[in-house]
Amino acid sequence: MIIPIEIPDASLSITKERPDEFVRSLRIAAAVKWYELGRISQSKAAELIGCSRAELFNHFRDYGVSFIQMSPEDLENELIDLSR
C-alpha cells in the first residue's frame, strides 16, 4: 500500500537525506517507537522497516530502545513458568 504524506522541503534539508533515505528513516523511527510503546511486535517492526531481526536490533540500539519490552511482573511470571 502506498500512503502519500506531505513533507516540507525544509525537512529534507535539515536531515540532509535524499527523499528515499528520508522515507526509510521515518519508517525506522516509527517502527522503533511503536515497538517501544508496545503497539507492535518485533516481527511487525522488522516487516515495516523491511529488515531482518538482527538489523532491527541495531536500530533499537541506535535509538536507545531495549529489545526486551517486559514489565518486571511479566519477567517474573516468565521465570516462574520456565521453572515448572
Which pLDDT does position 65 carry in this prediction?
Answer: 94
Matching residue, cell 514489565: 71
75 vs 65, higher pLDDT: 65
Q: Are 59 and 46 in contact (CB under 8 A)?
A: no
- 31: exposed, middle or buried (Cβ count in 10 Å: 0-12, 13-18, 19+): buried
pLDDT digit string, tens, across residues 26-71: 999 999 999 999 999 999 999 999 999 999 999 999 999 998 877 7
Residue 78 has pLDDT above 90, yes or no: no
Sorted by where each begins, the domain ranges of the chain are: 13-83
Q: The whole model's pTM is what?
A: 0.78
What's the pLDDT at 33? 97
CA distance linking residue 84 with residue 74, whole number of Å: 16
Q: How far is CA 79 from the centre of its chain?
A: 26
